[in-house]
Amino acid sequence: MEKRRKLFLKRDPYRAPRDSGLFLRSVRELAEYHTANCEGYARILRERGFDPAMLKTEDDLYKLPVLPTLFFKRNRLFSVPEKKLKVLATSSGTSGSKSVVGLDGRSLFLGVGMMIRFFLYHRVLSPVPVNYIVLGYEPSAHNDMGAAKTAYGTTKFAPALKRVYALRDTGAGYEPDPEGVYEALMRFSKGPFPVRFVGFPAYMYFLADALKKRGVSLKLPRGSKILLGGGWKRFAGEEIDRGEFYELIEKTLGIKRENCLEFYSAVEHPMAYVKCREGHFHIPAYSRVIIRNVSTLEPVEDGSEGLLSFICPLVTSMPLLSVVTDDIAVRHGGGCACGLNTPYFDLKGRAGVKGIKTCAASAAELIGGRDG
């Protein structure tokens, strides 16, 4: 699949390729591949009357049948033998259901190369050794959650002198280690090397708030960063105020807002989106974002709220080509004050899953799987 390889070897993640049809042809190529190699997916496309040849322009991309991320929490679709999968990851599965996503060697190779270029652009990759505080799970043989794998992968962006985890593996499960995190932070703050924090915004808030209550005000070494991924809800359910959050970070850790990066990703869509200084998630050349009507899954106009869905021709091991999440978002065509002219999206919240469950159940019925 030469077109797909060419797309994901692009150096500038936000500059459209000279060949404006490359993305479209990559999607069509991968749709044909999955149709030929995954009978369950082929049945879904046939039932919905879709043929990859229908993708004649990028305006046709919305026609590609979309699968809800909820569908992958209850069904498995693979286009390669499972023995060829190099990486398996699961979603957090807070409701009890977990997506299982596997990547083959070809997808992994292109994905890693893409992410290296992506994070070089955002100045996350560095040759300077750092100390990591991971506000999440310590890696373990009994934990295959995508969040844990992503967090550990993030510690590869700069050489790790030490990794300290807020949730320590006991061998039978996990237990929080707040004092261990605090003691490590005090040690790291006295050294010459940068400190990087990796985790959910809520966990980062808890740490900074605990430091404030202890009267701690640090000035971490130059180059220290905070890398955040996931939602902004506290455990109590209320939203963290971003202004208050960043003010608290600078007061307790001495890390300015420009060194706090927010990421959006999903296990079912192995692509990262970084929030710019204006607060928007810009869409790289490797994917397309379509906002869909909550009831019909038809596209809505830019500026209108709907379900956030993605199209990305990266993965050959599973038909993750077109997926829809249960996140509510708004897409804009570009013109951001940060200087990037690419389209971007803003998250608005979560949708109820009734309609999404119905769509997932319909897809499951077509392949003989379980519904919601």
> How many domains does the chain divide into?
2
CA–CA gap between residue 265 and residue 353 (Å, rounded): 19
Q: Is residue 276 part of a domain?
A: no
pLDDT digits (tens, 9 = 90+) for 26-62: 999 999 999 999 999 999 999 999 999 999 999 999 9
Average pLDDT of span 167-181: 88
Residue 362 has pLDDT above 70, yes or no: no
Looking at the structure, tell me whether residues 197 and 172 fall in a common domain. Answer: yes
| Total-model pTM | 0.84
Looking at the structure, tell me whether residues 258 and 302 fall in a common domain. Answer: no
> Could you give the angle at the alpha carbon of 176 between the alpha carbons of 175 and 180, nearest 5°?
120
Please state, rounded to an integer, the average pLDDT across all residues of the chain: 87
Q: Is residue 110 part of a domain?
A: no
pLDDT digits (tens, 9 = 90+) for 88-144: 877 655 445 677 889 999 999 999 889 888 889 999 999 999 999 999 888 887 776
Looking at the structure, tell me whether residues 92 and 42 fall in a common domain. Answer: yes
Ranges assigned E (strand) in the chain: 67-68, 85-90, 100-104, 130-137, 160-169, 174-176, 195-199, 225-229, 260-266, 269-274, 281-282, 288-292, 305-311, 322-332, 344-350
* pLDDT band (50, 70, 90) for residue 72: confident
Looking at the structure, tell me whether residues 299 and 219 fall in a common domain. Answer: no
Q: Is residue 147 part of a domain?
A: yes
- Span of 188-192, 227-231, 362-366 with lowest mean pLDDT: 362-366
| Full domain range(s) for residue 358 | 2-98+285-367
CA–CA gap between residue 223 and residue 238 (Å, rounded): 31
Average pLDDT of span 183-192: 97
CB-based contacts of 160, cutoff 8 Å, min separation 6: 129, 130, 131, 132
